[in-house]
Structure 1
Amino acid sequence: MSDLTRKYIADLDAGVRDLFASDRWRSYLEFLSKFHRYSANNTIAIYLQRPTASLVASFSDWRRKGRQVRKGEHGIKILAPHTIKDIDDETGEIKQRMGFHLAYCFDVSQTDGKDLPEGPAHQLTGTVDGFARIWDTLLAVSPVPVSVEPITDCEANGYYSHADQRIVIRDGLAELQRVKTAIHEIAHAMLHAKGAEEADADRSTREVQAESVAYVVCRALGLDTSDYSFGYVAGWSADKELKALKASLDCIVRTSDKILKAFEPSENNSGRETSAA
């Protein structure tokens, strides 16, 4: 299995490199780089004023991107930061502090113009043959309990909690996304728990490791997650040289094999795959 796993890692490496080199990825990053990141307070303000908003930017930002805000559209009120300079009357010293002023942004649905570049898939869709068996096997191989429940405090599809020693998967995901996310979080639990071999790895390395394991295991199970995994690994590979992926090859192989062994037929089962309870 190790040789096949290494082949899958090589395919992942090639897929991510192709994504980096593609016009689609470059245009996507260029597009994102010209839009502001909004604070938590502004995010709430945007939601309260326009719950259906999906991508917002200022009037001038949209114009730079080749789109125009339609006449009569009402802007979404947000607070924009600016620097205030105060002069000390006694010393003449200039001190700077942060202030805020009212500003407006607009959702993409309020604009017309040039088509926007698409990014990597944000969600996997589709059903999985033998889903119940695969899911039961993942529950058995996981070193911590796995539950499926609503996640309201973040947008993640799932998470591994170090403090609670459990994995939570977002309720309502498609079968393929649920399986992929579960494997990703199980890899975190195996590799990044306190005292584990990769516990001290930095965040980007941990994410590259976990998603690489998810890609390898899913592919071995006949599930295609490349649309999601290539973009995910690329997003966490800031150096664009995939150093984390290469440096982590051995642990990715070992962890993938550990999970996949749970899917192998038992010696006493006449060659049939078993479902762990």
Structure 2
Amino acid sequence: MATRTRRPTRRAHDERGRADERAALITKIKADFDDRLARMAADPGQWVEFIDHVAGFGARYSLGNQILLLVQAAERGITPRYFLPFGRRDGSTGWRAHQRFVRTGEKAFKIWAPVRRRPTEAQAAASVAAGRRVPRDPDGRPSLRLAGFALANTFELSQTDGEPFAPPTIVGRRRRHRRVAGPPALLTGQDPTGVYDDLVALLAAAGYQYALVPAGSGYLGTGTGVTVHRGTSRQVQVRDDIDPAQRTKTVAHELAHIRCGHTDQPGVVAHRGRQETEAESVAHIVLRAVGLDTAAYSDAYVFGWADGDMDLVKDCAETVLRTARQILDDLTPADPERPDEPHRVNPAAVDSAAEATAPPADHPDPTGTYAEQEVA
């Protein structure tokens, strides 16, 4: 009897085609990421340009997604402003929550989104038997845990129609909070942000005394500001004769040194150029996000630059983005009325974005740069 050869079904053929498309897309994403890193490592001007883009987004994206979105936007010739997924069918998340809808035929932007799964009781028992702790929800079920990353769809504001929408900003959120918390202490002069006192408070919370001192006195030398960590002494000093806007920027710069870990080893300067590049970049991102658009200057030009070291620049960029996000979170109270605002976790948006991809899990982030603080 002749053996019949089973032909692949149309469904299997389509699934194989989609898998091939995903593989090709992932390969392109990795190549684009490496290309952008290589250019940043070779030219300090590319670093400055990158940091300026990051400042425009308010540091709400991880390094991998930041580059991924910028590359896609450049290919389409658009200046991106704000991204969200479609949203859940009940209208509780994404663009649907804002009564806006993606136009038919619009091509989605891709980002890496975390995918979370709830272990079964059998899996939880196996983890406990292996000596691993299994977190549980208040109802006793094993908690959701990160299972991998998947490419998810998100759409830019220009791809949508519907109710008027103003991209939420950190400036706006701070203003709404002030209306609730009472009148702010007003600053005079050229600083429009109102964050000076908050930045000084963050210095105090980190264990540093703060003082305005005459130029050239104390530890200042020829600088406008300095952070000192010697023995039990922790001080930040800033010149007392500089304009309010510069004073705020200098305080942000010194706080960035502390948050980036530059003071963790007193007396040790691992790479002065890199430390100044990181601190200045963080200050630029933070202050632009709160309404003070400083020049996109960076001490990248004294970094050396990086002698083409992509890993070094990647680590530098991750440090800058992580630190800027942390400071912005500390400066900006959460707004329960706008859960999908920049740089804060929105689990519903994560879930709805991740559900749009397949396979939904067990996929590492190929760039190694995803940070769970954000998903558009």
- TM-score (normalizing by structure 2): 0.34
- TM-score (normalizing by structure 1): 0.45
Answer 1 or 2: higher relative contact order, Cα 8 Å, separation at least 6: 2
The structure whose residues are more often strand, as a share, is 1
